Structure formats: C-alpha cells, structure tokens
C-alpha cells in the first residue's frame, strides 16, 4: 500500500517541472543572404588551354563571376567581396576553413574547380553551409568550352534552388524586339539574349515590322507576328536552324500568338467580320478553331500551365477587363473588378497568379492577382509600361517601359525591366539597343 502511494507521488510531482520551454519565432529578416563565391580553382595547364580557345585569362574566375552576378541580380543573395576572402580557391575547394568564412559573415560558400579534359570543359562545384560546417551539394558538368557561360548559369540555378527551395531561372534566354531609330520611323528586329544580357543575337533583319515573340515550351521554336505588305502573318522560327515558316495569313487585326503548354497549338486573337475573338490553330493540321464568340473585343489569350483554362482580356462589360474560361471557350468568368482598364493577362508558370497591365488615371501599372481575381497587387507604376512575361519559376516578371518624349519629340526610349513578385528588386535589363515585348524562356536544361 505504502509503495503505491509513493509511486503515485513520484508520477505526480514532476508534472510541472518537465514542461519544456517553447518559443515561437514568427519573424525573420528578408535581407539578402550573405554568400561567398570563391573563384573556381584552375591548374596551369587548363588555364593555358582555355586561354588559347576562349581568350579568357582565368576561366575559373570568369565562371565564378557569372555565379556572383546572377546571385546578386536575384536580390535574394549578397555575394561578399572577394578581397575579404582569406582562403585560396584551390584549398577552399578541398576543405574550407569554416572559421575563416565565418569571420567574413558568409553563411554559404561556393567553391569549385575547372579542368580541361579531352578537349572539353569540366567544372566541379560544391556548396557549403558555413555555419553548420558541412557540404550541402557537389556537382560536376562536362561540356564544350564555348558553353562556359551556361555552366555559370547552371551552377547558379543549383545554388539558388538549394538555398531558396524553388527552381532557379538563370539558365534561360529572353526573346524581345530590338528597336532602333526615331520614334516615327522605328526599325524593329527580333532579338534573343541570355537572361543576363549576354550573347545577344538578331534573328531578323528589320525589313518588316515584327511584334510579340513568344517561346514554345521546349524553347526550340518562337512564334511571332510580322507585317508583310501590311498584312499580319504569324510565323514560326526555329532558333537553332534559323528556319522560318508562315503559319498563316489572318484577316484584319491579329494579336499576340502564343503556344499552348504542350506546344501543339497556337492561341491568338484576330478580327473576323469586324469582330475580334480568340482562336487556336493546331500546328499539325493547321485547323483553326474559334474559342470565344462574343460581339466584344477579346484579345491577349494565355493558357494556364495545365492547359485547362485560358485567361484573356475583353471589353464585354463595357471596359477592358480580365476573364478566364475553359479551354473550349465555356464557363467564361470575369476576374478583374478594380478601377481602370486591365490587359495583357499572363498565367504564371506556377499556376497561382495572373500578371497583367493596368491603366488607371493615365498611369500604367504592372500587377498580379490570384486566378480568382482576389489579392490584386500592383508591383510597379510608370508613364508607359506593359507586356509582362514570367520567369520560368514564377518569381520574376520582365516587361518593357517607354519614356516620355519632350516637346521636340526627343528623348524617347524603350527598355526592358524586371521586378520581383514581391515588388522589390526592380531593375533595368541591359540590352544593346532599345527593347520591347520581352518573352522569357523556360529553363534550357529542361
């Protein structure tokens, strides 16, 4: 009996003292993560070989610079100044002295090695968690030396994905309209470049007016609109071979052809019998199918990532607003209800948001809203800007912005800009000429 009492006592007594202290941490800082990108180590033989082939003094440093710039441009990372690095690249790649990197407040470290093997470029890289003192990732790539910039972008994508939890967007390209000359007599060419502005190429000569280029899901093809003898034509262009193909001549005003997510169709709007509606064209059999049928003007269609829905803008309510419908044209539903005019809706690759251009009280805005029209957020405001296009991870938007001309008609320019989904990190994207109508490719490795 006595033991039973004692047992009960022993069980009951420590009830309170066992309670573990819990502290809820619901806030943190959103400042860029300090990252050290050590120059990639390179041996003398490889250095000499790459110097001969690529005319680059130190390819290891060049590749690390690409990674550093990409991370910085993302706005989510703060690459630390290389002058502060205490450890040599070759030793750091083998086993970093974490105390040294901790000292300069680095939380992550990128190291690596570049070698010349069988006429090819081999790049190894490692990502280290400085505070935990452990390796987070190690990968190696082998490619032709000319692809060295892409290797830098791929490394950045891997680092970005490992540290943020979402896919990167650095190994991508942007197709856009390069513009030159005075505003009244612009020469417009189709151009393509890496997302960081390098490797710029013109794909057309500028003899004809070109508009609204869009990538296919595989990035191999581009569809765009061109005016030939003042008649709108929809073209397909193979980027690798340079082969062009006319998909069709369409009557009246034709707008913004865009691929379906499976790449088998093109969706666009054109005017038939004076009424603009949305149509698709099957690229195999060239059959054109009418999707929307309304006396109002329906334009700018864009598929959802799963291909089941289409968003577009229409003035059927009296003012230009954004709508969504099923891919067969049924179940049309208006989703924008704010003040002003809404246009150029583009479905996010993540499927959760729709980006748009809004005109309100003489100002142009780039914004996003959920697919049911709730949660509208205006990210940036300016005199004139439009045509947002999503980065493949749905984190960044690229669009173009025009400046006001003065009384003499001077000072006009059109430039590409990018902005983070949060509304931060607004940046001009460097291009050789003036630029408009950008379209972001998906990841090239996919």
List residues binding another protein (CB under 8 A). Answer: 1-2, 5, 8-9, 12-13, 15-17, 19-31, 33, 76, 107, 129, 131-132, 136, 160, 162-166, 393, 395, 422
Handedness of CA 99, 103, 105, 110 (dihedral sign): negative
Token code pair at residue 398: 């690229």
- Tokens for 266? 């093109």
In the complex, the smallest distance separating the C-beta of residue 302 from another protein, rounded to whole angstroms, is 22
Q: Which is nearer to another protein, 57 or 166 (CB)?
A: 166
Q: Can you give 45-105 as a three-state secondary structure string?
A: HHHHHHHHHHCCCCHHHHHHHHHHHHHHHHCCEEECCHHHCCCCHHHHHHCCCHHHHHHCC
Q: Which is nearer to another protein, 20 or 205 (CB)?
A: 20
| Contact partners, residue 14, CB within 8 Å, separation at least 6 | none
* Strand intervals (E) in 86-220: 108-117, 120-129, 134-143, 173-180, 187-194, 201-202, 209-215
Minimum Å gap between C-beta 377 and another protein is 12
User: Is there a contact between 135 and 127 (Cβ–Cβ < 8 Å)?
Assistant: yes
In 10 A of CB 25, how many CB atoms? 5
In the complex, minimum distance from the CB of residue 24 to another protein, in angstroms, rounded to a whole number: 5
Q: Which is nearer to another protein, 19 or 205 (CB)?
A: 19
C-beta of 13 vs 287, nearer to another protein: 13
* Closer residue to another protein, CB minimum distance, 376 or 434: 376
Q: Which residues contact 74 (CB under 8 A, 6 or more apart)?
A: 160, 425
413 DSSP 8-state letter: -
CB of 376 to another protein, least distance (A): 16
Compute the least distance from the CB of residue 399 to another protein, in Å.
Answer: 21
**Of 30 and 88, which CB lies nearer to another protein in the complex structure?**
30
Nearer to another protein, 5 or 374 (CB): 5
CB of 30 to another protein, least distance (A): 6
421/400 Cα distance (integer angstroms): 16
Minimum Å gap between C-beta 350 and another protein is 9
């Amino acid at each position: 009996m006595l033991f039973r009492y004692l047992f009960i006592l022993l069980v009951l007594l420590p009830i309170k003292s066992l309670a573990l202290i819990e502290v809820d941490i619901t806030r943190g800082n959103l400042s860029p993560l300090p990252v050290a990108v050590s120059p990639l180590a390179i041996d003398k033989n490889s250095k000499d070989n790459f110097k001969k082939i690529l005319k680059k003094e130190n390819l290891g440093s060049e590749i690390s610079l690409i990674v550093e710039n990409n991370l910085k441009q993302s706005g989510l990372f703060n690459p630390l100044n290389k002058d502060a690095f205490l450890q040599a690249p070759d030793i750091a790649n083998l086993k970093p002295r974490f105390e040294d990197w901790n000292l300069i407040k680095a939380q992550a470290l990128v190291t690596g090695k570049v070698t010349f093997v069988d006429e090819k470029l081999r790049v190894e890289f490692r990502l280290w968690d400085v505070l935990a003192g452990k390796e987070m990732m190690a990968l190696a790539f082998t490619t032709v030396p000319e692809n060295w910039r892409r290797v830098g972008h791929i490394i950045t994508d891997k680092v970005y994905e490992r540290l943020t939890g979402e896919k990167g967007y650095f190994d991508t390209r942007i197709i856009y309209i390069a513009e030159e000359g005075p505003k009244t007599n612009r020469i417009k060419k189709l151009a393509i470049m890496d997302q960081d502005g390098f490797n710029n190429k013109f794909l057309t000569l500028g003899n004809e007016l070109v508009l609204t280029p869009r990538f296919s899901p595989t990035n191999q093809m581009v569809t765009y609109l061109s005016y030939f003898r003042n008649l709108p034509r929809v073209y397909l262009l193979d980027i690798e071979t340079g082969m062009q193909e006319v998909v069709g001549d369409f009557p009246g005003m034709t707008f913004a052809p865009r691929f379906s997510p499976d790449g088998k169709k093109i969706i666009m709007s054109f005017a038939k019998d004076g009424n603009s509606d949305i149509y698709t064209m099957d690229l195999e059999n060239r059959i054109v199918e009418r999707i929307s049928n309304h006396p109002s003007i329906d334009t700018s269609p864009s598929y959802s990532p799963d291909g089941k829905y289409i968003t577009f803008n229409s003035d059927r309510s009296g003012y230009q607003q954004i709508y969504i419908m099923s891919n067969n044209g049924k179940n049309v539903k208006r989703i924008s209800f704010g003040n002003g005019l809404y246009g150029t809706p583009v479905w996010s690759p993540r499927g959760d948001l729709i980006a748009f251009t809004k005109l309100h009280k003489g100002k142009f805005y780039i914004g996003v809203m959920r697919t049911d029209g709730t949660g509208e957020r205006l990210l940036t405001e300016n005199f004139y800007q439009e045509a947002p296009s999503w980065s493949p991870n749905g984190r960044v938007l690229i669009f173009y912005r025009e400046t006001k001309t003065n009384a003499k008609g001077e000072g006009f320019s059109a430039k590409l800009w990018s902005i983070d989904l949060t509304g931060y990190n607004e940046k001009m994207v460097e291009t050789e000429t003036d630029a408009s109508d950008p379209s972001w490719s998906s990841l090239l490795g996919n």
